[in-house]
């Protein structure tokens, strides 16, 4: 099974400053079609998870453009260009084409 490792576990950020979350997989996430399917989810306190990014770098509808995803192979990054108060929560990565479905352990973003 693929193992997804996120860092840091906790990320205190000053409002308006950037934030970066790392996600590393134990094996390459390149799918048989040559594409890489890596999702990022945001879970605000008391809410359900919400997908932010799919296929490494594509933002879902309604996701602010301050969120961006990048990476390839086994190393991936979610960046928030300027953190806002509504970005507080836990962020998870998850490959979309590896079985069984496995989430990263999560990174908690909080305001300093």
Report the interface residues with other proteins, using CB under 8 A. Answer: 37, 39, 41, 43, 48-51, 54, 60, 90, 92, 94-97, 99-106
Of 82 and 110, the one with the shorter C-beta distance to other proteins is: 110
What is the token pair recorded at 21? 């979350």
What is the DSSP pairing of strand 107-111 with strand 10-13?
A: parallel
Q: Rounded to an integer, what distance in angstroms lies between the CA atom of residue 47 and that of residue 44?
A: 5
Beta-carbon contacts of 46 under 8 Å, excluding residues fewer than 6 positions away, are: none
Name which of 8, 6, 14 is nearest 88 in CA terms: 14
Nearest approach, Cβ of residue 49 and other proteins (Å): 6
Nearest approach, Cβ of residue 37 and other proteins (Å): 7
Of 41 and 76, the one with the shorter C-beta distance to other proteins is: 41
Nearest approach, Cβ of residue 70 and other proteins (Å): 20
Q: Rounded to an integer, what distance in angstroms lies between the CA atom of residue 88 and that of residue 109?
A: 5
Nearest approach, Cβ of residue 101 and other proteins (Å): 4
Of 43 and 77, the one with the shorter C-beta distance to other proteins is: 43
């Amino acid at each position: 099974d693929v193992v997804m490792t996120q860092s840091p576990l906790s990320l205190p950020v000053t409002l308006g400053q950037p934030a970066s979350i790392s996600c590393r997989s134990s094996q390459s996430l390149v799918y048989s079609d040559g594409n890489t399917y890596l999702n990022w989810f945001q879970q605000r306190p008391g809410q359900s998870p919400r997908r932010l990014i799919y296929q490494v770098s594509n933002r879902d509808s309604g996701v602010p453009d301050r969120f961006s995803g990048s990476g390839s192979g086994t190393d991936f990054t979610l960046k928030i260009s300027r953190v806002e108060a509504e970005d507080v929560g836990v962020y998870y990565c998850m490959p979309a084409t590896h079985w069984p479905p496995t989430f990263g352990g999560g990174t908690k973003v909080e305001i300093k």
